[in-house]
């Protein structure tokens, strides 16, 4: 019985890793702006996920992983005593990164979008990244944020309005 649980845990972990490692890495990268740090943080996310598989009831692996990622990134900035999240970095390097192949169509407008996004508060940044880059549904984001779907819709709408305002200022 214990052996069977271990096999199921390994299969579940392997499946979750294969399905979500790229998006977790991308989320970390967009939040910290460094490939090396993003790789370390992504590894930490999956290590924490592995440790929780046995001890926690996890209904949605994707939402759980993003929740861990958000906490790992917050821990990273707390340790560095950095007060704000930076999305600084060379946008062209994003397109060249093998983990970010789906962002290959980077245009000259991407720098303006990145700059405007970095000016949003952390919660709004997360919502925009999760919904539009990582293509998470409103219900998945609601689970990550532990909020109602309606609350997430309202917050996402506000985030988009602020992003639009910042883009018009440029």
From CA 2, how far away is CA 18, in angstroms rounded?
24
The string of pLDDT tens digits covering residues 73-90 is 999 988 875 444 444 444
Q: Which pLDDT band holds residue 132 (cuts at 50, 70, 90)?
A: confident
> Is domain 2-169 given the CATH code 3.30.1490.20 in the classification?
no
> If you count DSSP H runs as helices and E runs as strands, how many of each does the chain have, helices first?
8, 0
Greatest mean pLDDT among 102-106, 107-111, 140-144: 140-144
Residue where the block lists tokens 């532990």: 146
Tokens standing for residue 110: 């991407």
Is the pLDDT at 109 greater than 50, yes or no? yes
Hey, how many other C-beta atoms are within 10 angstroms of the C-beta on 108?
A: 7
Give 138's DSSP letter: H
- The pLDDT of 51-76, averaged and rounded, is 89
pLDDT of the residue at 100: 44
50 touches 12 (CB < 8 A) = no
Considering the chain, what percentage of its residues have pLDDT values greater than 90?
41
Whether the per-residue pLDDT at 94 is higher than 90: the answer is no
DSSP assigned state of 108: T
From 65-74, 99-108, 150-159, the region with the lowest mean pLDDT: 99-108
For residue 35, how far is the Cα from the chain centroid? Answer: 14
Q: In the predicted model, is pLDDT for residue 105 greater than 80?
A: no
Note if the pTM is more than 0.95: no
């Amino acid at each position: 019985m214990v052996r069977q649980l271990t096999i199921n845990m390994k299969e579940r972990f392997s499946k979750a890793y294969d399905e979500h490692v790229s998006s977790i890495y991308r989320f970390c990268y967009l939040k910290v702006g460094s490939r090396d740090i993003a790789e370390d943080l992504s590894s930490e996310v999956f290590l924490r996920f592995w440790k929780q598989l046995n001890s926690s009831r996890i209904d949605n692996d994707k939402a759980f992983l993003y929740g861990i990622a958000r906490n790992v990134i917050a821990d990273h900035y707390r340790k560095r005593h950095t007060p704000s999240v930076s999305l600084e970095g060379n946008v062209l390097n994003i397109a060249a990164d093998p983990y970010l192949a789906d962002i290959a169509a980077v245009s000259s407008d991407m720098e303006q979008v990145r700059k405007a996004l970095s000016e949003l508060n952390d919660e709004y940044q997360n919502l925009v990244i999760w919904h539009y880059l990582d293509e998470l549904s409103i219900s998945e984001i609601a689970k990550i944020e532990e909020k109602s779907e309606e609350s997430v819709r309202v917050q996402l709408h506000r985030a988009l309005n602020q992003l639009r305002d910042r883009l018009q200022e440029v």
